[in-house]
Structure 1
Amino acid sequence: MTTSTSAATGGLKRRLGVFDSVVIGLGSMIGAGIFVAPSPAAGAAGSGLLLGLGLAALVAYCNATSSARLAGRYPESGGTYVYGRERLGEFWGYLAGWGFVVGKTASCAAMSLTVGSYVWPGHEHAVAVAAVVALTALNCTGVHKSARLTRVIVAFVLAVLAAVVAACLGSGAAQTGRLATGADATAGGVLQAAGLLFFAFAGYARIATLGEEVRDPRRTIPRAIPLALGIALLVYAAVTVTLLAVLGPDRLAHAPAAAAEAARVAGVPGLVPVVRAGAAVAALGSLLALILGVSRTTLAMARDHHLPHVLAAVHPRFEVPHRAELAVGAVVAVLAATTDVRGAIGFSSFGVLAYYAIANAAAWTLTPDEGRPPRAVPVIGLAGCLLLAFALPSASVVSGTAVLTAGALAYGVRRALRHGRR
């Protein structure tokens, strides 16, 4: 089924190896999330922030393991949309794809606005729209060019974060007593923080959604996903410990630019503009990878007529789903002109947690011969996704539930109409 569908609509060329796959995953995870997610998470968990980070990492590990096993078996564009369809049925695949597309479209808007707020404060919406247009155009010229740019972005952001950690911890401003979990940490707050931090960990999905463009995907994807997640976890842990040690949970919760504030408090103001540049570049890298991932899921859903089939076209020269990328870019540009950053984080997390809940349910159905993960992995992953999703701020839960319900209703109406014509 997979091969014939791809042939009918045009195939994508396999260009990405392990290194580029890991870099694309890191470009999504070590993106603007590291610069914006710790503050709202600290507001929820207080000094229990590290517990929230650990919980988010545990759920992310289970999701990554389930996704890697499934991606090795179904190396197609679309990620969990394909896995849910093949293992659980058409509706669950559709719901996963719908949750991913709407959630990650919100993430795209958040990342583009982060670029704008760091590059030109007060004109962030205009810069955000320009960034979306430029990166969409780049993606339309070929995934290998996107991968090369992502390498440069990831290297620069890692260097900036390393400088922040070294400068802050070496300045004498850090206070290790601030790292202890205090009375302000509640179970609900830790769960909410984990849900918000999950926004930053979910980038490894980009590796799976690019499955049709990865060389030897049955080996490459299961290697690349845990590598990318492991590196991202180490970076997030180091930066979070540094921010807590320098700012403390209360100050961190109210710092819109936490890494820059930590550099200032640590007595290295010369590092502040470098951090701002790093945040803007990180957001660009995340936005680049996000547009790649959303457009590939859009391609897969269009192939199955859950989205307009015209979006399933693949460019004959550049071998990319150019119509899907242009459509995604247009929607993101509109959102970037009308939304705000923090509101998008919770909404995005809810949609993506629903996506991974379906991935874990699909992984449960794998047999040992198909590479099934240990049984505890999809169980913990599924339960963790549902728990974190409904622990998010109420506005995110309500809006996320409404959008998923609307998608399910649209599916039901379309299915009823299709059967009525027969």
Structure 2
Amino acid sequence: MTNALDTPPTRKKTQGIGVSALVVFYVSSIVGTGILLVPGLTEAQAGPAALLAWVALALASYPFARFFAEVSARNPHASGLGSVVAGGFGPRHGRSASLLLLTTYAVGNPVMGVVSAGSLLHLLGVPDAPDTLLYAVAGGFMLLSTGFTLLGVATGARIQAASLVVLLAGLGAAVVLAVPHMEAGSYTPFLAAGWGSVGTAVVIAFFSFLGWENVSTLADQVEDPARSYRRAIRYAVPVVGLLYVCVTAAYLAVPGDDPLVITALLGASLGGSGVAVGDLLALGLSLIATNAWVLGASRLLGSASRDGLLPRSVTARPGRPPAVLGGAYLVVLGALAATGAGVELALITTSACFLLLYVVAAAAALRAPDAAPALRVTAKVTLLISAGFLAFAGTGLAIAAALALGCHLAAHSNSQNRKALER
């Protein structure tokens, strides 16, 4: 596994995607399911004070984004976060981190499929569909997104860009139309559930800000990564932060209890027809986000196979990685349906796993003796913020720790087996 903290490559240009495509992948990785579903979950947790969680995360986004941009700029490698850990703590721990990241994608990505399914069923007049139907439709959407990865990065970027412009315009219009229907009284009492609830809301809302590390999986196909990544986050971070805060503030101010943000905003202003349009836009946004995340998972899966973490047969044929990912997503959705655990547990577990990985990756960057000053500064801030957020993860942290231990043992066993075969 390549050291993520090596000196930046001297090659100035490679054939690949540029700054504008990176911005699209950043925004489409982050804006989507999170802005549709999570504000309602944070409101249920902290009431109007949930807005503070979104503001805090919007501000924390820049050091997170800059940290992973620096990593990708210095060593363009599809293993992304795992290569950072390998650079500071050694290959074995890097493989453990890569396996945990891949597991987290498998657990978290299906949440987006559930949102897509919920939007479609609501549009079709089946808002209270049984879980078996909801998760079956979600499985279909996840398989659709795994098929999207076969189009390739360049083609996918063009499709994502065109769709994202239309759908973000629709989201902005929904906020503007909802303004006359907003009520200041919706913000009182503001802190009824206490500051602890805001901390928990931060962990839940953190799911919406995942994605800065997802784009690092595309690094080996980026044109001039040292320049492109740093420029891309200058545009992507303020767009994401401002959009999230404005949309959440509007959602908290409109009457009603619809769990989907865009449906609530358009329903307040346009009635029944607004609800239908909201469902369509929600479906489009969730599909865009799912495509971006599944593409990142596919790239990571290929990297894990090439590095020997998974059998090479996983990537032996072009259609094999999507099939493997699709199977994993169906297993997770089947487990959610069978246990009745619900998407909130999957969501908070995903957030906790990523926070744990952020802590380890930042610590690894600080431990490496050859880390550049810019990387060290962003790593320190990322470590402090992630550790602070992780303290509120509760059950999610316990599950994340168990998954991390399992991945470490599996990676160690895999390493031992490889050494035995080499003998």
TM-score band (shorter)? 0.7 to 0.9
Partner amino acid, structure 1, of 2:83? V
**Partner Cα separation in structure 1 for residue 220 and residue 317 of structure 2:** 12
User: Does structure 1 retain, via aligned residues, the 8 Å contact 2:30–2:289?
Assistant: yes
Tell me which of 361, 364, 367 is aligned to 2:363: 361
Partner in structure 2 of residue 124 of structure 1: 134
Instruction: For 2:62, give the aligned amino acid.
Output: Y
Q: What CA distance in whole angstroms lies between the structure 1 residues aligned with 2:391 and 2:316? A: 37
Q: Partner letter of residue 320 of structure 2?
A: R
Please state if 1:73 is matched with 2:81: no
The one-character-per-residue Cα deviations of 1:171-195 (angstroms, maximum 9, x if unpaired) are: 2x21235447733243321111111
What is the rounded CA distance, in whole Å, between the counterparts of 2:317 and 2:30 in structure 1? Answer: 27
Residue pairs, 1:167-206, within 5 angstroms? 167-169=177-179, 171=180, 173-176=181-184, 178-179=186-187, 182-206=190-214
The alignment of Structure 1 onto Structure 2 pairs a total of residues equal to 398
Q: Deviations over 1:40-87 (max 9, x none)?
A: 112222222121112223333222111111110111112111121123
**Percent sequence identity over aligned pairs:** 25
Superposed CA RMSD: 2.6
* Equivalent pair of 1:204/1:229 in contact (CA under 8 Å): no
Counterpart for residue 11 of structure 2: none
Trace 1:210-359 onto structure 2 (pairs within 5 A): 210-247=218-255, 255-266=258-269, 268-313=271-316, 315=318, 322-339=319-336, 340-359=342-361
Contact 2:207 2:351 in 1 (8 A): yes
**Distance in 2 (alpha carbons) for counterparts of 1:314 and 1:229:** 36
Contact 1:75–1:212 (CA under 8 A) maintained in structure 2: yes
Cα distance in 2 between the residues matched to 1:158 and 1:37 = 17
1:107 positional shift: 2.2
Cα distance per residue 1:245-302 (max 9 Å; x no partner): 224xxx65xx422332233334544221111111111111111011111111222222
Aligned-partner Cα distance in 2 for 1:203–1:47: 26
**Residue matched to 2:37:** 36
> TM-score scaled by structure 1?
0.86
The one-letter code of the counterpart of 1:111 is: M
Residue matched to 2:6: none
Whether the 8 Å contact between 2:93 and 2:408 is mirrored in structure 1 is no
Deviations 1:361-410 (A, max 9, x none): 234356788462463x322311222232341252x223222111111122
User: Distance between the aligned counterparts of 1:83 and 1:130, measured in 2?
Assistant: 34
Question: Normalising by the residue count of structure 2, what TM-score does the alignment of the two structures yield?
Answer: 0.86
For 1:419 and 1:181, locate their aligned partners in 2 and report how far apart those are by CA, in whole Å: 62
Distance 1:367 1:399, change over 3 A: closer
What SS is found at the alignment partner of 1:391? coil
Query: Residue type of the partner of 2:92?
Result: F
Aligned residue for 1:15, secondary structure, equals coil
CA gap of 1:302–1:256, structure 2 versus 1, over 3 A, is same
Q: Partner residue of 1:63?
A: 64
